[in-house]
Amino acid sequence: MSLDQYFTLGRSGLRVSRLSLGTMTFGDDWGWGSAVDTARAMFDRYLEAGGNFIDTADLYTEGTSESMLGQFIEQSGTRDRVVLATKFTYNAQPGNPNAGGNGRKNIMRAVEGSLRRLRTDYIDLYLLHTWDRITPAEEVVRTLDDLVRAGKIRYAGLSDVPAWYAARAQTYAEAHALTPLVNMQLEYSLAERNIEHEYVPLAQNLGMGITAWSPLAMGMLSGKYKPSQQGGEGEGRLAKVTAAPGFERFTARNWKIVAELEQVAKEAGQSMASVALNWVATQPGIASVIIGATKLEQLDANLAALSFTLPAPLRDRLDAISAIDKPFPYYMFTDIQQTRIHGGVAVGDKPESYASRVFVPAVQAREISAKR
């Protein structure tokens, strides 16, 4: 598979590459990104390879990421070709609670700032960045719908929210014929598989494509770090910010995954990063993997991630070493139901060839069955 094969994002007509370019490393404002020349070279290389899906946020490198992207897109004349995703939530004015969060006032403020920095009059995919624990889902959905109607954004989605909140938002949008959410952006990698319990089936059932962030666990799965007394050492982001909350990747579990990944990659004749990205890209529910890099060589290595098929026995080993526990109630939704719920009959509601490839929303499905 190559980057110029495009697939629809969730239940939408928006067609995107299976690898998306993450730009949280565009700009060095946070001490672990790239200067403008390297960022520009990575932008050009991604587009040359056929990629069309680029992710940023107003938060990233304090606005530098959006500003750089705006400049690159304008100079390369690629605005129509690029599917540009950005996000709101994070606060830009200390002391002012309405200059952050997901309320209507902040979304309306944030979108204007992003449009200005991105040098465009529309955003292709606008995402709520993080749940603020306050704003009702209905307010977010209505505001995003207004932005679509005003021509400022084309599609909407959510990142880093509880599953119940995403389900509430999508159901409300569907019930009121408002702009549906077509994307959930969530952390997913061999090191972080918790979305498998709730978010993957949610996204598949409600028409949202998942885009996976930190697919290399912030560089951990590239294999360049070694355990040390401080936790881990090596060249890169994790060694620079190892103690910061949200960056704890040097764990005993992760070192075991890295060791098995190293063996599997050797046997597959691929780099560890490529194998780790390939695993994410081919997991259920994943629409696109958001790759990150600070150097052109890293980007090149990562762009090779779709060029091979991981043999099933090697994949099984990665599945096993990274397997997560099934907490309550998920352990109940397995084959232990076979006898007590399904009377010993195999589970499966449709023959394989019968399953529709096109998702039919609940409202439409009710209309269809009423006409029959």
Ligand X SMILES: NC(=O)c1ccc[n+]([C@@H]2O[C@H](COP(=O)([O-])OP(=O)(O)OC[C@H]3O[C@@H](n4cnc5c(N)ncnc54)[C@H](OP(=O)(O)O)[C@@H]3O)[C@@H](O)[C@H]2O)c1
Q: Which residues are catalytic?
A: 60
Q: CB of residue 362 vs ligand X: minimum separation in angstroms?
A: 28
Indicate which single residue of 10, 22, 101, 157 sits in contact with ligand X (rule: CB under 6 A). 22
Closest approach, Cβ 50 to ligand X, in A, equals: 19
In degrees, to the nearest 5, what angle opens at C-alpha 22 toward C-alphas 21 and 23? 115
Using the contact rule CB under 6 A, the part of the chain among 139-147, 171-179, 215-223, 305-313 near ligand X is 215-223
Q: Which stretch binds ligand X (CB under 6 A): 9-17, 141-149, 211-219, 356-364?
A: 211-219
Strand, coil or helix: 113? helix
- Of the candidates 34, 33, 35, 5, the one whose C-alpha atom is nearest the C-alpha of residue 19 is 5
The 144-183 contact track toward ligand X, x by CB under 6 A, reads ---------------xx-----------------------
Applying CB under 6 A, does 287 fall inside the site for ligand X? no
Which CB, 115 or 212, lies closer to ligand X? 212
Contacts of 166 (CB under 8 A, 6+ apart): 158, 181, 184, 199, 202, 206, 208
| Contacts (CB under 6 A) with ligand X, residues 306-335 | none
> Does 135 contact ligand X by CB under 6 A?
no
294 part of the interface to ligand X, by CB under 6 A: yes
Residue 122 CB, nearest distance to ligand X (Å)? 19
Rounded distance between C-alpha atoms, residue 280 and residue 319, angstroms? 11
Q: What is the dihedral of CA 119, 123, 129, 135, to 10 degrees?
A: 110
What DSSP string runs through 314-353?
HHHHHHHHT-----TTGGGSSTTHHHHTTTTPPP-SS-GG
CA distance 159 to 363: 25
Binding site for ligand X (CB under 6 A): 22-25, 32, 55, 159-160, 185, 213-219, 222, 224, 236-237, 273, 290-294, 298, 301-302
